[in-house]
Amino acid sequence: SSQLSSLPLQILLYVNGIYYIFYFLATLAMIIYKSQVFSYPDDLLAPDLAVLFLMGILEVPRLYLGFKGNLTEAEAPLGLSLGLTVGSVVLCVYLLLWQTYVLWADVFLNAVLLSAYGLESGLKVTAIAAFVS
């Protein structure tokens, strides 16, 4: 039988993983830059850093479950990954809109990540539909 695993999803997940590493380091560097150049009190710096690290922690199982679900053509891990994606989207929107300082580079990086998440979610839904049926 023909394979049900989605190739575009696989490619997107792979690229997402690499992009995410770059995104995490760049955002962390920019937060450090902002804390030096602008007035960044500790009680506002802590939530921003917490959100970034939480997103990083969520990303690892999210991508792993995505890979596993897609390759083994199982809908449960893929569904779990979709759920984690929702959480990541929320955190990404926070970093895009409600950070203390949103630089133009922040806007760009987060927009790219959001579009990647959106596309991934769409592909996951179609893959789950394909696996279930």
Partner 1 sequence: PGDTRDAARVRSAPAPVMDVARLCVCDLLVAQCDVNCCCDPDCSAEDFSLFTTCSVPVVTGDSQLCNQKAAVYSLDVEANPPERIFKLIDQVNPSIFCIHATNYKQALYLKSPEIPTPENFDQLLEKFGGATFRAEPDSWDLDTDAQNPPEANETSRYEYGVPVQTEDAFLRLPSPVVSSWCSDANPAGFLVNQATKCIRSVSVEKCDSIQALSMLFYINSSILAVPKSSQMVNITVQSIVVQSVNGMRTLLSSSDVLRLPMVLDELCINAVLGVNYHITHTDMGEIIEAAAAFVLGAISKEALSIEQSFEISFTQENTQAVPLSGNPGYVVGLPVRAGFQPQGYPFPAAFLSNKHSQLTILQSTSTQDCLAAQGARAPVLFGYNMISGCKLRITAAMKCQPLAQTLLDVLKGQSFPEYVASFGNSQAQDVLDWVPITQLHISEQMISYTLQSSCQIPVSLGIEVKWTKYGSLVNPQARIVNVTATITTTTLKQLPSGRERIIPITSSVVFTDISSPAEPSYKAWPTINIKLPFDFFYPFV
Among positions 15, 57, 60, 105, the unique one binding partner 1 when judged by CB under 8 A: 105
Q: What minimum distance in Å lies between the beta carbon of 43 and partner 1? A: 11
Piece of 38-46, 50-58, 59-67, 81-89 that binds partner 1 (CB under 8 A): 38-46
Among positions 32, 108, 111, 125, the unique one binding partner 1 when judged by CB under 8 A: 108
- Compute the distance between CA of residue 72 and CA of residue 10 in angstroms, rounded to an integer: 12
- Compute the distance between CA of residue 95 and CA of residue 127 in angstroms, rounded to an integer: 29
Among positions 44, 46, 86, 93, the unique one binding partner 1 when judged by CB under 8 A: 44
What distances in angstroms separate CA 5 from CA 26, 67, 72, 125, one per listed residue? 32, 10, 8, 12
Q: Is 106 in the site for partner 1 (CB under 8 A)?
A: yes
- Compute the distance between CA of residue 90 and CA of residue 95 in angstroms, rounded to an integer: 9
> Could you list the residues that contact partner 1 (CB under 8 A)?
30, 33, 38-39, 44, 97-108
